[in-house]
C-alpha cells in the first residue's frame, strides 16, 4: 500500500479469496482494504496513539440521515456525554482534497453540528474549528491534542 504522511503501526492483514482485508480495532472486525480504508486505519491510530484520543469515543462508518437520504461519516469522535464533537472525512491518497470534499463534510455537519472538521487523504490533513457563537471558522495548523479540547 501507499506510504502516508502518518505514523506507521502494527496492522493486521488477511487475504480471502484473492481479496485483502485489514483489521479495524474500533469495529473489531476485518474490513475490505481499500486505499481510503488504509488512510482511515492510519489516521485513527494517529489520533489514539499520538494525539491521545480515547478509542472508546471514536466511531467508524457512522450513519446519519441527511434530507431523507442515508449517508455515512467516515469517523465521528464523541464527547464524554455522547454528543458528536469531531467529524473526520477520508479520501484515498491519490484523491486531491478539493472544495467538493469540504462541501461533503459540511453537509454532514449540517446534521451533527460538531466543533471540528478534519479531512485527510493520508498525505495532506486539514483541521477546521467552527465557532458557532461568532459564526466563523478557522483552519488549525494541526489536529488538536485530545487533552486540549
Q: Given pLDDT bands bounded at 50, 70 and 90, which one contains residue 66?
A: confident
Which residue ranges make up each domain of the chain? 13-148
pLDDT one-digit tens code per residue, 79-121: 999 999 999 999 999 999 999 999 999 999 999 999 999 999 9
Q: Residue 40 pLDDT more than 80? A: yes
Which pLDDT belongs to residue 68?
A: 84
pTM of the model: 0.94
Q: Strand 116-120 relative to strand 84-90: parallel, antiparallel, unpaired?
A: parallel
Calpha distance 114→12 (Å, rounded): 31
* Rounded (10°) CA dihedral 98, 116, 132, 73: 70
- Cell match 489514539: residue? 48
* pLDDT at residue 65 greater than cutoff 90: no
Q: What is the pLDDT of residues 128-140, one digit of tens each?
A: 999 999 999 999 9
Are 49 and 7 in contact by the 8 Å Cβ rule? The answer is yes
C-alpha triplet 26, 78, 141: angle, nearest 5°: 95
Tell me, what's the pLDDT at 75?
A: 97
Report the sign of the C-alpha dihedral through residues 22, 5, 7, 88, in that order: negative
Query: What is residue 67's predicted lDDT score, i.e. its pLDDT?
Result: 82
Three-class secondary structure of residue 63 per DSSP: strand
* Nearest Cα residue to 89 out of 106, 107, 105: 105
The reported pLDDT for the residue numbered 137 is: 93
Q: CA–CA separation, 147 vs 20, rounded Å? A: 36
Other Cβ atoms less than 10 A from the Cβ of 52: the count is: 13
Whether the predicted pLDDT of 1 surpasses 80: no
Give me the CATH code for the 13-148 domain, please.
Answer: 3.90.1570.30
User: Strand 19-24 and strand 13-16: pairing?
Assistant: antiparallel
pLDDT, mean of residues 50-71: 92
Average pLDDT along the chain: 95
Q: Which three cell numbers stand for residue 63?
A: 450513519
Region 35-52: mean pLDDT is 98
The pLDDT of residue 103 is: 93
Amino acid at each position: 500500500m501507499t506510504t502516508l504522511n502518518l505514523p506507521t503501526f502494527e496492522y493486521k492483514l488477511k487475504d480471502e479469496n484473492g481479496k485483502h482485508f485489514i483489521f479495524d480495532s474500533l469495529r473489531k472486525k476485518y474490513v475490505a482494504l481499500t486505499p481510503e480504508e488504509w488512510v482511515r486505519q492510519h489516521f485513527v491510530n494517529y489520533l489514539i496513539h499520538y494525539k491521545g484520543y480515547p478509542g472508546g469515543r471514536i466511531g467508524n462508518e457512522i450513519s446519519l440521515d441527511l434530507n431523507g437520504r442515508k449517508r455515512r461519516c467516515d469517523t465521528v469522535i464523541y464527547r464524554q456525554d455522547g454528543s458528536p464533537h469531531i467529524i473526520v472525512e477520508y479520501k484515498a491518497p491519490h484523491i486531491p482534497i478539493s472544495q467538493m470534499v469540504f462541501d461533503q463534510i459540511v453537509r454532514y455537519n449540517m446534521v451533527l453540528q460538531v466543533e471540528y472538521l478534519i479531512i485527510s487523504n493520508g498525505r495532506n490533513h486539514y483541521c477546521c474549528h467552527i465557532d458557532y457563537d461568532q459564526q466563523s471558522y478557522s483552519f488549525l495548523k494541526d489536529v488538536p491534542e485530545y487533552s486540549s479540547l
